[in-house]
Structure 1
Amino acid sequence: MSPEPTVEQLIAAARAGATGDDELALLDAVIAVTKDLSSHADEAVDQVVRQVRAAGHSWTVIGERLGVSRQAARQRYADRVERIREAAATGSVIHGRDLESSLSSALAAARADGLAEAGTEHLLLGLLTDGVAAATLEQLGATRDKIREASHRLFEHPTDWPGGGVPVFSAEAEAALAAARQLANERTPDCAPIIVNTPQLLAVIATNPGSRARRVLNHLGVDVADIKRLLHCYINVPRTPFGRRSRRGRGGKKQRDRCSFCGHPRSEERRLVAGPDVWICAECVALCAEMLAQPADGGV
């Protein structure tokens, strides 16, 4: 499974290809970029529609860009745009669709194991369902069968569970989810809604040396440093008023230019492309191009 680009990467790619500097040109570009993608595509369009509405454009104009009527555009996006606006205003956290699917799969895995609670080892199983975390684990050889076998070897499982009721998340799993939300909060620009996806949850459970998930990964010989390296571009974005790295340190000294996606500084080996108050390195450009070149699920 190839990793899908994040909402921020989709919008960045659309901004790079936009034919103008206004919000409507960005909306045209993001529609073009996301038309063959799933998962984060709707979130990207939702966020840009919110920007277009904030700029004072009507649902009629938005509908024309989307190829639908004013009424259809409003019916499709009004509630979702309002939800994003409220989340940004209140600081509340939205679960991405890849995370929601993973959590549902984790509870199903706990039920299949005959457990009343889903632990972080079940979160690890659930993360193989969809998104960047699934691609990361698969790339490192952590398959569903291997994780399940290691979990059964490391932890006790009842053999006489009656099978009634719905499992809930264990205290350790709930703490991991809370930590993932906090990580998303710390790494999300102040002007954007806080959306937690699978990379944050995988980073949390993999780097906690005492978690059951970490014990499973150790048992499988998965190097946590490799997980951190593969997730770096998705979670290492410091929170600033506009999601940009400050170029001035103490005393007004100019800081080294850094990639706004992965955070690495400019060097002779790492060239940076400049945008409006933003930078992107050649490696992140190549990564975005590779992900956007991949066909959507089902080969559509």
Structure 2
Amino acid sequence: MSPEPTVEQLIQAAHERAASGDPLDLLDAVLAVTGDLAGRTDAAVDQVVRQARDAGYSWTVIGERLGVSRQAARQRYADRVARTSATVGLIRGRDVQAAVATALAAAEADHLAEAGTEHLLLGLLTDGVAAATMEQLGITRDKIRDASHRLFDYPTQPAGAGRPDFSAEAQAALHDAEQLATERTPTCAPVVVRTPQLLAVIATNPGSRARRVLNDLGVDVADIKRRLHCYINVPRTVFGRRTRHKRRPEEPSARCSFCGEPGNDERRLVAGPDVWICADCVTLCGEILAQPAGAGSA
């Protein structure tokens, strides 16, 4: 088992992830590093607690091992165990599978033993909604490669035999994308993680290597969030709907079911069965569907 990282190692890892030498950038990076560690620790405890519950142990027994009461154990872990159980049957969409394969191949081409989030960012240009979104923002594979080689030290010789694995940061990003997909998928539907969730996770992590690449390219992360909003902002309810009350599109309280913006004279809504889509989201969907199949794979 690997020893617990020292304070010096954590700070060194933060320096490697920081966008600059500014103390505030270093603060963002150290929060991201420690957050990754805490997230993996919580995920490990959640999974083992789920295994204990599956084995028939009561919350009283589990609470004793955790050093808390039965009620405290149940309140803290019941929902998290349920989410962990849901991710067991999680499916990675073909677009994410293609992105993962491309990321590993790119890390191998860079003579690295590990693929980072900058390689995931490059892989996301392979196919899917994330590829279309990034292309609309002028992000290309060549730009990502150039920025990555400016920002990070890559070896000139192969790191060793065998295919690269994902770095801890990249593994945490894939896990967080799966969690996001779980939280935003209606309970009646299978949980499928796709490229919008993965792009949202790595782009909004202030200390990630992918975020540093995007910053170097002058990409507005808020623009990425806005474009992905309608693909990931679906509440986890029985039917994935925002409300059970039917309203007419012309009512002021009616909102687009994808981006959440209210309807008005400038933002007209198209009505469906208790669901609406605004003109902006229709336009974005049209742009994506107009892309030829496999356009992002060049």
Map of 2:152 onto structure 1: 155
Matched, 1:174 2:200: no
Q: CA deviation at 1:161?
A: 2.5
Map of 2:232 onto structure 1: 235
Tell me, in whole angstroms, the C-alpha distance in 2 between the residues paired with 1:273 and 1:295: 26
**Structure 2 stretches of 5 or more lacking a match?**
1-84, 246-250
Q: CA deviation at 1:255?
A: 9.2
Map of 1:76 onto structure 2: none
The 1:224–1:175 alpha-carbon spacing in structure 2 relative to 1, beyond 3 Å, is same
Contact 2:127-2:294 within 8 A present in 1 as well = no
The 1:165–1:132 alpha-carbon spacing in structure 2 relative to 1, beyond 3 Å, is same
Contact 2:98-2:127 within 8 A present in 1 as well = yes
User: Identity rate of aligned residues, in percent?
Assistant: 74
Contact 2:112-2:159 within 8 A present in 1 as well = no
Residue of structure 2 aligned with 1:130, choices 127, 130, 140: 127
Contact 1:111-1:167 within 8 A present in 2 as well = yes
**Per-residue displacement from partner, 1:73-113 (whole Å, max 9, x unpaired)?**
xxxxxxxxxxxxxxx98762111101100100000011111
Moved over 6 A (4+): 88-91
The 1:219–1:243 alpha-carbon spacing in structure 2 relative to 1, beyond 3 Å, is same
Paired residue type of 1:201: L
Residue of structure 2 aligned with 1:224, choices 221, 224, 236: 221
Paired residue type of 1:211: S
Residue of structure 2 aligned with 1:98, choices 90, 95, 98: 95
Give the TM-score normalised by the residue count of structure 1: 0.63
Paired residue type of 1:116: A
The 1:126–1:294 alpha-carbon spacing in structure 2 relative to 1, beyond 3 Å, is closer
Residue of structure 2 aligned with 1:187, choices 181, 184, 190: 184
Map of 2:112 onto structure 1: 115
Give the TM-score normalised by the residue count of structure 2: 0.64
Residue of structure 1 aligned with 2:267, choices 266, 270, 275: 270
Contact 1:237-1:262 within 8 A present in 2 as well = no
Moved more, 200-209 or 254-263: 254-263
